[in-house]
Structure 1
Amino acid sequence: MKVLVVGSNGQIGQRLIRLLKESSEHTVRAMVRKQEQADAYEKQGIETALADLEGSVDSIADAAKECDVIVFAAGSGGKTGDDKTLLIDLDGAGKAIEAAEQAGIDRFIMVSAIQANNRKNWHKNILPYYAAKHYADRVLESSSLNYTIIRPGILLNESGTGKVAAAENIVYGSIPRDDVALAIVKALSEKNTYRRTFDIISGNDPIDDALKKI
């Protein structure tokens, strides 16, 4: 599959692109906002497309042409305000979903947040972030796309273990970003993840097995 990664400069996005570049099953295109970002990826032999989540749906659809999957791993980041959370994590996700439909791409993987579906478990310090993730996920679930929504726990920068717990309802936990990126790659063609939404944290099962058990 050819995968368009939206959020290519994010920490999960960068890890995901490295995995896809090394894959024998998939190829990758990195969607970036700036030419210098594109140049940096092109020097690594990675195909890029220039588009901005604050731009038009048409521009995102153009970036996705000839791709088979869109992975939305973008986020406004902890240093921005609620306005960017709204524009990137919610409206940007909505635009990417519309772009997939416009470009005739059926498969869409969303990186969300643990318990985004369950308001009573939202962390009170980041309620706007959780609200954005919640409604972006609902837009995707109501779309025509063959979606997978992955809701990782607290994100860590330590090395991945390749072992996780994945289920439709996990209240709390953490997970290395390495393992989130690997779970995305594994989910691309794992039919048990089609039209499914689940939480994922560090655990005892190899990622392949965990995804088959959700």
Structure 2
Amino acid sequence: MKYLIIGGTGRTGRHAVAQLGELGHDVVVGTRRPRDEHSVAVDLANPLDAGLLDGFDGVIVSVEPPTDDTGADAVMNGGVERLAELAAAQQIPVVLLSQIYITRAAEHPELAGIIRARGAGEQALRNSGAPYTIVRPGWLTNSAATGVRLEQGDRGEGNVSRETVAQAAVAALLEPESRGRTFEIYDGPLADWSTAFTGLAAD
């Protein structure tokens, strides 16, 4: 299988690239500055090539948004919406890495613009008709993966390893049981991804 990881050079995305590669999949990194034959030019802030997803079996969006509100909206809302439309046309699964606090932006006014942009992008993906999974990590750390706890409802708080977030994204990409679901993840115990996804409520 062949997968596109948008943001695959980032601190979380690179873990997803490595994990999919270890599973024997063909992985292409989507980045603003392609470096080799295993990467392609993708800038979510700008119009996307109509054939961007041709030949791919799925895509993970692991992008750290700009820190200004306008830039964040261009990437995490407008860019995700444009990507979702392309994915919907070919029914290509999209796994979007978002964040907690989507429904609680007032708790972090310093991040409210980014949170609102992410929330709008989430909804654009849901509305697009593309097969999707939305993963909302807690506060990211660079610690080694030790397990994960899944929640829904955006009420929780906690840390989660970037490596674990990548594991969740890869599992969601490969497990059909994850489709049409939005969930939060934190460090904690987990035995089986398929069982965990099946236990989640659909959006």
TM-score above 0.5: yes
Which residue of structure 2 lines up, in the alignment, with residue 71 of structure 1? 60
CA RMSD of aligned residues (A): 1.9
Which residue of structure 1 lines up, in the alignment, with residue 39 of structure 2? 48
TM-fit CA distance, 1:121: 6.4
Structure 1: give runs of 5+ residues left out of the alignment: none
Which residue of structure 2 lines up, in the alignment, with residue 88 of structure 1? 75
Q: Deviations over 1:28-62 (max 9, x none)?
A: 11112124xx23xx4xxxx22123222323x1x42
Q: Deviations over 1:134-164 (max 9, x none)?
A: 1111111112111100011001111111x11
Measure, in 1, the Cα distance between the counterparts of 2:33 and 2:122. 27
Q: Taking every aligned residue pair, what percent have the same amino acid on both sides?
A: 27
Measure, in 2, the Cα distance between the counterparts of 1:206 and 1:121. 34
Which residue of structure 2 lines up, in the alignment, with residue 193 of structure 1? 178
Measure, in 2, the Cα distance between the counterparts of 1:92 and 1:125. 22
Please state if 1:106 is matched with 2:92: yes
TM-fit CA distance, 1:9: 2.2
Aligned partner of 2:157 among 168, 172, 190? 172
Q: Deviations over 1:8-28 (max 9, x none)?
A: 22211111111111113x321
Change (3 A) 1:204 1:141: same
Change (3 A) 1:111 1:207: farther
Q: Deviations over 1:50-103 (max 9, x none)?
A: 23222323x1x42321001121111225xx32221111121111121122234x
Structure 2: give runs of 5+ residues left out of the alignment: none
Query: Counterpart amino acid of 1:154?
Result: W
Contact preservation (8 Å) 1:10, 1:74: yes
Measure, in 2, the Cα distance between the counterparts of 1:207 and 1:179. 13
Measure, in 2, the Cα distance between the counterparts of 1:204 and 1:6. 28
Please state if 1:5 is matched with 2:5: yes
Contact preservation (8 Å) 1:186, 1:207: no
TM-score, normalising length from structure 1?
A: 0.84
Which residue of structure 2 lines up, in the alignment, with residue 211 of structure 1? 197
TM-fit CA distance, 1:200: 0.8
Change (3 A) 1:112 1:122: farther
Please state if 1:202 is matched with 2:187: yes
TM-fit CA distance, 1:183: 0.9
TM-score, normalising length from structure 2?
A: 0.88
How many corresponding residue pairs? 198
